[in-house]
Structure 1
Amino acid sequence: MIYTVTFNPSIDYIVSVDDLKLGSVNRTSEELMFPGGKGINVSMVLSNLGIENTALGFLAGFTGDNVQKMLEENGVNADFIRVKDGITRINVKIRAQEESEINGMGPAIKDEDIKELYKKLDKIKDGDILVLAGSIPSVMPETMYSDIMEHLKDKDVKIVVDATKDLLLNVLKYKPFFVKPNNHELGEIYGVELKTREDVVPYAKKMQQEGARNVLVSMAGEGAVLVAENGEVYKSKCPEGKVKNSVGAGDSMVAGFIAGYLKSGDYKEALRNGLLTGSASAFSDNLATKEEVENLGKTFEM
């Protein structure tokens, strides 16, 4: 089984405004609504690809009820902990002359809620995959990712981490199955600017030396780099297409990489599938579907 964890889920309310004028009444030309959060995005795409998975995390209030409903309608096993105080946040994304976001706060997560999460994590078995993705709310310990990996260290679980800065660095000693920084995040960690795939390779190798088994670096239109535990380095451009929506593309790459690896056991094929899936989401208003990924793959060669 694949499990994802989203500590601070959301309802993502995406509105298009043809000509946004601050201080005035603006009317939308299009509205979309999705369950949001990096782990949830991974779960949604895995489900779209036909791969069973379970989404874990915290939900609260009437907005949490809606997130639960939307996930279940999409075929995701939603096994969230219900939090008493507050509501699951609403994130407003405005598409106008420029893209802007207003993100909500989320509910108050208490110690007893975290204990309930550990009870669910205890059900994870050897051979399962766990995806830890996104930021940690300020009401939770900053060490939450490394605490979880410490808790599970005696199990044979493949753990995937998609996080930034110290959240990522602090888990490397637990040898995660793969990590997925983008080139800007990787550069920020090591104090350099990384513009090309060739620039990325030495720093991805450095992160691997610090503990990560595989380092997958996404680079938007530049493609991606994978430094794999088999000693190989794979570099690839991305498929060609018109970008409609960048939200969830990186999470889709994570889901696609996992799906590709489970199907083939081959890291090059996993990277290809990750690129296809991430691009399919970027080229669509919604998260990638299996049909979109397959159609894109007909003409894409690494």
Structure 2
Amino acid sequence: MIYTVTLNPALDYFVEVERVNFGVVNRSNYDYKAPGGKGINVSRVLKRLGHQSEALGFIGGFTGDYIKTVVEKEDIKTNFVQVAGDTRINIKIKSESESEINGVSPDITDEHLEQLQKQLAVLNEGDALVLAGSVPATIPSEIYEVLCKSARTRKADVFIDSSGEAMKKVLESQPTFIKPNHHELGELFSVEINEPKEAIPYVQELIGKGIQYVLVSFAGDGAILGTKDQILFANTPKGEVKNSVGAGDSVVAGFIAANQEKVSLEDAFKFAVATGSATAFSKGFADRDQVESLMKEINIRELERDE
């Protein structure tokens, strides 16, 4: 079974305005609401790829009810821990440029964390745990490290998509897979990384820590996937980017889906990159037919490793 954990979900409120003018009333041309949170996104994409998962995390209030209702309507199982406050609302403004106003997360208590850990006690060999997104301020930043260690002890695979301190602290727990973008990889090592070849020594260092797969995305410039045996590069398919929300989460979902289907490493990498691109080229999330079509445009080649 695949379990996704979203510690800091949100109701995402998308607003499109021709131009933002401060100090006056602005009227939107278009708006819509959607469940937000990286782990939730992974569950929603997995479902579109033909794989069931169970969405876990913390929700509360009317906004939390909305998220739970929408996710369950998509036939995705949920087992969220209910908290006292309202799940945050993130406002995403689409105008001349994109801007965001992220809301404040509700308090998460020790009791809430204990509930989540009890839920994850069912993990076993063959299961996959996805820990994705930011960590609320009321939760210790080492929470991913704690959850990852516990899951790895139970021989479950752990997939991480986060950044900052939460990502730094989980690395020593030997997650199965991590997916930083090139900016996040640079932050881990306090360097600037602009192109794939510059990432190679840092990917090798992460692999040396016992991480099985390190996938680094470079947006339209492709992606690299490192393992202990090789470093692969994949180009990005051509298309019009319509949606930047959830593309990275789709890469994670695509890799997990391919991994569950036990395809070759190269095909898993292609499938992951194609899934991210399919979401970027859509107004919603990727669907499988589009992913399989885009795979035909992706070529994989091996990069030389640093000695």
State the TM-score bracket (shorter-chain normalisation): over 0.9
Q: Which amino acid aligns with 1:92?
A: I
- Equivalent-residue separation in structure 1 for 2:110 and 2:192 (angstroms): 39
Structure 2, unaligned runs of 5 or more: 301-307
Deviation at 1:299, TM superposition (A): 4.0
What is aligned with 2:6?
6
Name segments (4+ residues, structure 1) moved above 6 Å: none
What is aligned with 1:250?
248
Q: Which amino acid aligns with 1:141?
A: P
- Equivalent-residue separation in structure 2 for 1:298 and 1:153 (angstroms): 35
Go from structure 1 to structure 2 and tell me whether the alpha carbon gap of 1:107 and 1:92 turns closer, same or farther (over 3 Å shift).
same
Deviation at 1:124, TM superposition (A): 1.6
Go from structure 1 to structure 2 and tell me whether the alpha carbon gap of 1:153 and 1:260 turns closer, same or farther (over 3 Å shift).
closer
Go from structure 1 to structure 2 and tell me whether the alpha carbon gap of 1:132 and 1:299 turns closer, same or farther (over 3 Å shift).
same
What is aligned with 1:290?
288
Per-residue CA distance 1:56-94 (angstroms, 9 max, x = gap): 00110011111000101112111101112x101111100
What is aligned with 2:83?
83
Length-normalised TM-score, structure 1: 0.95
What is aligned with 2:99?
100
What is aligned with 1:127?
126
Structure 1 segment 156-167 matched on structure 2, within 5 A: 156-167=155-166
Is the contact between residue 228 and residue 267 of structure 1 (CA under 8 Å) also seen in structure 2?
Answer: no
- Equivalent-residue separation in structure 2 for 1:110 and 1:195 (angstroms): 40
Q: Which amino acid aligns with 2:75?
A: G
Is the contact between residue 128 and residue 156 of structure 2 (CA under 8 Å) also seen in structure 1?
Answer: yes
What is aligned with 1:276?
274
Structure 1 segment 1-302 matched on structure 2, within 5 A: 1-84=1-84, 86-229=85-228, 231-302=229-300
Q: Which amino acid aligns with 2:121?
A: D
- Equivalent-residue separation in structure 1 for 2:151 and 2:234 (angstroms): 34
SS of the residue corresponding to residue 289 of structure 2 reads helix
Aligned length: 300
Deviation at 1:206, TM superposition (A): 1.1
- Equivalent-residue separation in structure 2 for 1:207 and 1:298 (angstroms): 30
Deviation at 1:264, TM superposition (A): 3.3
Cα RMSD (Å): 1.3
Is the contact between residue 143 and residue 167 of structure 1 (CA under 8 Å) also seen in structure 2?
Answer: yes
Deviation at 1:154, TM superposition (A): 2.2
Identity %: 43
- Equivalent-residue separation in structure 1 for 2:268 and 2:174 (angstroms): 19
Q: Which amino acid aligns with 1:99?
A: E
Q: Which amino acid aligns with 1:123?
A: V
Is the contact between residue 17 and residue 93 of structure 2 (CA under 8 Å) also seen in structure 1?
Answer: yes
- Equivalent-residue separation in structure 2 for 1:22 and 1:269 (angstroms): 49
SS of the residue corresponding to residue 46 of structure 2 reads helix
Decide which moves more: 292-301 or 231-240. Answer: 292-301
Deviation at 1:298, TM superposition (A): 4.3
Length-normalised TM-score, structure 2: 0.94
Go from structure 1 to structure 2 and tell me whether the alpha carbon gap of 1:107 and 1:165 turns closer, same or farther (over 3 Å shift).
closer
Deviation at 1:152, TM superposition (A): 2.8
Per-residue CA distance 1:69-126 (angstroms, 9 max, x = gap): 0101112111101112x10111110000010001111211111111111110011222
Is the contact between residue 124 and residue 155 of structure 2 (CA under 8 Å) also seen in structure 1?
Answer: yes
